[in-house]
Amino acid sequence: MSVLNTILRFFGLSSKTKLEEINSNDNQEMKKFLIVGLGNIGAEYVNTRHNIGFKVLDYFANQESISFQTQKLGEVAEFKIKGRTVLLLKPNTYMNLSGKAVKYWLEKENIEKDNMLVITDDLNLSFGSIRIKTKGSDGGHNGLKNIQLLLNSTEYPRFRFGISDAFKKGKQVDYVLGEWSLEEKESLKERLSVSSEIIISFALAGLNNTMNLFNGK
């Protein structure tokens, strides 16, 4: 079942036309979304655990046949679905300064924080686990820490992708900047597919419905 049909079923709708009718009642401000994937630029980081945000967006863009363009403070792609405009952002500021790109694009596109979803790795979740939240602390994550600092808020949606904490004491940096194991690589495609569904659901069904549909999936 496609994610769109899943959402229709969740709302008890029998056709796409009914979803279009719901969408037509939304105000214009609610129709633009920013999806931020956190990561570090550079070939040496492409397949590292810390770059799962970039990897999710790259997978999504490939599935939807859209491409990223280099713009101010990041790589940006645009996707339209059911009257929504979805901007995908991969900051090129390196992880520790992610907030600079996030703040710029929120303000440039006049997007509310509630319509932004930040995708990040999480050491506190088992590999591939999904946790979507309305708000929260930075959890020691430098990308989230900088976003919180520049937005002066912890209240923005985030999608945490579990990478587990299978590292020895003192090896955290090596672990998060290390590449996926062979076993993890085999499981990633299915997890990336689910992650793409989350992006579409966030734009079409909203945050709360997306949490109900995907948390723990």
> Active-site positions?
50
Task: Report residue 170's pLDDT band, with 50, 70 and 90 as the boundaries.
Answer: confident
Least confident of 3-12, 68-77, 144-153, 157-166: 3-12
114: phi then psi, degrees, rounded to nearest 5: -65, -20
* Residue 2: pLDDT over 60: no
How many CA within 13 A on the CB side of residue 9? Answer: 7
Known binder of ligand: residue 96?
A: yes
- CB 89, CB 101: distance < 8 Å: yes
Rounded (to 5) percent helix, strand, coil in the chain: 50, 20, 30
Amino acid residing at 175:
Y
Least confident of 18-22, 68-72, 124-128, 189-193: 18-22
Sign of the CA dihedral with 159 first, then 162, 168, and 173 last: negative
Known binder of ligand: residue 142?
A: yes
* Residue 90: pLDDT over 70: yes
Known binder of ligand: residue 45?
A: yes
Closest CA to 128 of 187, 76, 186, 70: 187
Task: Report residue 14's pLDDT band, with 50, 70 and 90 as the boundaries.
Answer: very low
pTM above 0.75, yes or no: yes
> What's the confidence (pLDDT) of residue 171?
86
User: Mean of the pLDDT values across residues 31-50?
Assistant: 95
Paired tokens of 45:
């980081």
Report the SS3 class of residue 41: coil
- CB 155, CB 115: distance < 8 Å: no
> What's the confidence (pLDDT) of residue 7?
57
